[in-house]
Amino acid sequence: MEQVKCNTASASYDIIIASGAWQKCKDFSGRKLLVRDGNVKNPGIEADGEIVLTPGEQYKTFSAVESICRKAAQMHLNRKDRFIALGGGVTGDLTGFAAAIYMRGINFIQIPTTLLAMVDASVGGKTAADLPEGKNLIGAFHQPDAVLIDPEFLTTLSFTDLTCGLAEVVKTAVILDGKFFDKLEQLGASLVETPDFAVRYPELIKRCCELKSMVVASDEKENGLRAILNYGHTFGHAVEQLSDFTIPHGVGVAIGMTVAGTLAADLGMWKNNDASRQLELLKKLRLSTAIPRRFTPEQILEVMRSDKKNDASGIRLVLPDGIGSARVVSGVQERAMISALEKCYD
């Protein structure tokens, strides 16, 4: 068993990485509402009620949050009870948001079943739903009681889901840990061709959780450092939204990192070789890195102008200034963004 502690100003909780980690749900008191992704079978979690969500980003809506809250109300749950999120990032985000607003705050447990959720979405207390105008525009910061990660769920993932999770692993390494990036380069295509879910992947998951917990501990509400965790997401979210979410989040992040890395090189923030290393690693992990030609740079920028991270100076971007380091940059000229975008088509 691997364990990481996430300490924030509002809560402290354990991230447990172990076979059968979900069984620790029984250690928590109170009545439980299991919120399950429709693609995921219940491995044996005992709950007093259950609601099944329709999987897919297009169903990450406030109506889904309302359905969770109404089920809780019908069960007469109170603040001493808790929700359990069993699924990927969409399920975790929706359940956490419902937990944040039901009775002004109820406990919840994260049981992520995708690699993307294990290494990123389940940790840190960001919860949300989408609006037609953009991703994650409604939500709240609400920390879980625990994150219970069972790597055995990874054996059930599709190839696409696995590679999408690896996009977030690469993102974490690029912005926070150069040595971790070096290790990913060494492992390369073996992570998808001969994945070791018993040893290698738990190690990757643990390192990502350690790094994200460190950032969240210093900046729970994203007033500073935490913003760098959005690397690749501003460009990536725009591409996802333009595709009506037929492009998965991990692919969007891979494309977004490619554009952001190209822009950073154009601005002289990091070396062309760094951008090339990032691109080659993403390709080795079988991730799409090119913008579909049906989306123009102008369309992408138009969506980016509605990003919730923007300020009075315009579009705010997270750009790398070395392998293992990144910062938030404001005031980049849109013509520079267009130039970078134009270099990232196939």
Of the listed 82, 126, 171, 284, which one is catalytic? Answer: 126
Q: What is the pLDDT of residue 4?
A: 98
Alpha-carbon Rg for the chain, nearest whole angstrom, is 19
Q: What is the pLDDT of residue 306?
A: 84
- DSSP letter for 307, please: -
Of the listed 142, 171, 212, 277, which one is catalytic? Answer: 212
Active site residue 212: yes
Which tokens sit at 222? 């994203």
Active site residue 249: yes
The pTM of the full predicted model, rounded to 2 decimals, is 0.95
Of the listed 226, 277, 284, 316, which one is catalytic? Answer: 226
Residue whose structure tokens are 């919860």? 127
pLDDT in tens, the chain (346 residues): 999 999 999 999 999 999 999 999 999 999 999 999 999 999 999 999 999 999 999 999 999 999 999 999 999 999 999 999 999 999 999 999 999 999 999 999 999 999 999 999 999 999 999 999 889 999 999 999 999 999 999 999 999 999 999 999 999 999 999 999 999 999 999 999 999 999 999 999 999 999 999 999 999 999 999 999 999 999 999 999 999 999 999 999 999 999 999 999 999 999 999 999 999 999 999 999 999 999 999 999 999 998 877 877 789 999 999 999 999 999 999 999 999 999 999 8
Which tokens sit at 19? 């076979």
Alpha helices of the chain — where are they, by DSSP H? 62-74, 89-101, 115-116, 159-176, 178-187, 190-193, 200-218, 233-242, 249-266, 272-284, 297-304, 334-342
Listed by start position, the domains of the chain span 2-156, 159-342
CA distance 186 to 178: 13
Topology annotation, domain 2-156: Rossmann fold (3.40.50)
Number of helices and strands (H, E) in the chain?
A: 12, 11
Q: Does CATH place domain 159-342 in 1.20.1090.10?
A: yes
Type of residue found at 133: E
Of the listed 39, 107, 136, 230, which one is catalytic? Answer: 230
Active site residue 76: no
Of the listed 233, 277, 284, 316, which one is catalytic? Answer: 233
Q: What is the pLDDT of residue 309?
A: 79
Q: What is the pLDDT of residue 89?
A: 96
Phi and psi, residue 287, nearest 5°: -95, 140
Of the listed 76, 104, 293, 335, which one is catalytic? Answer: 104
Of the listed 60, 135, 168, 171, which one is catalytic? Answer: 168
Active site residue 230: yes
Cα 95 to chain centroid distance, Å, stands at 15
Active site residue 226: yes
Of the listed 249, 277, 284, 316, which one is catalytic? Answer: 249
CA distance 119 to 154: 12
Active site residue 233: yes
Q: What is the pLDDT of residue 311?
A: 78
